[in-house]
Amino acid sequence: MLFEAVRTEPPAADEEVVGTRAAIYARVSTLAGQSPQMQLDVLREYATRRELEVVAEFVDHGVSGARDHRPELDHLMAGARRRAFDVVLVYRFDRFARGVRHLVTALDEFQALGVEFVSSSESLDTSTPMGRAMFAIVAALAALERDIIVERSVEGQRRARARGTHVGRPRREVDEVRLLSMIDEGKSVREVARTTGLSRTVVGRVKRERGAA
């Protein structure tokens, strides 16, 4: 198996919860020679110092951080949505998120749910003013990254068009002789499109390019 659940069941809704409930998440990328034990030890010790009650532990074994879905991470997010715990503890950002945008998206969701997030190695704790400031910086960097990607994409398309390169989906093969013949017969763009199975946009483009009346 690629993963092993190491979870304790969250307390039932009618049980009294002493202190703040915490969930631990740990991950190792390979099954060979890697163990999550160090991460778990550090996070359990952190929880003890903070007087947090660890109600659940989620551990993904042999699962790449680049994967969109990881079994135990999915269970963690489902637990957060049920408000089964109040804070999520991770050893390091890269153990939890596959990138800055994923991290920001997850932290946004935690914030909306009222669930705090702590990364022990990076000393980020969203329950503190400094942690919230760091999160704002991470979010700004993610937005900057998105803007740069969009800007590069738009510039690349502009340069391609300037070179006469078609940008977008490949153009559909069109029997222009037949199409223009139908237009010359007085058929409307809508009729030609319906008969040929082409879109009205394609028919109109051919008509304009060929200067058909």
Domain termination residue (choose one: 130, 158, 184): 130
CATH code: domain of residue 37 = 3.40.50.1390
Does residue 150 lie in a domain region? no
For residue 29, indicate whether it is catalytic. Answer: yes
pLDDT at 16: 37
pLDDT at 24: 96
Number of domains in the chain: 2
pLDDT at 34: 73
How many Cα atoms sit within 13 Å of 52 on the Cβ side? Answer: 22
Q: Out of 29, 35, 181, 188, pick the active-site residue.
A: 29
> In 66-199, which ranges are continuous DSSP H helix?
71-81, 93-96, 100-113, 129-162, 176-184, 189-196
User: For the chain, which residues score pLDDT lower than 50?
Assistant: 1-19, 212-213
Does residue 42 lie in a domain region? yes
Range of the domain at 55: 20-130
Domain termination residue (choose one: 72, 98, 130): 130
Model confidence over 154-206: pLDDT tens digits?
A: 777 777 777 766 555 555 566 677 777 887 777 888 888 888 777 778 788 77
Does residue 156 lie in a domain region? no
pLDDT at 172: 57
Does residue 31 lie in a domain region? yes
pTM over 0.85: no
Does residue 7 lie in a domain region? no
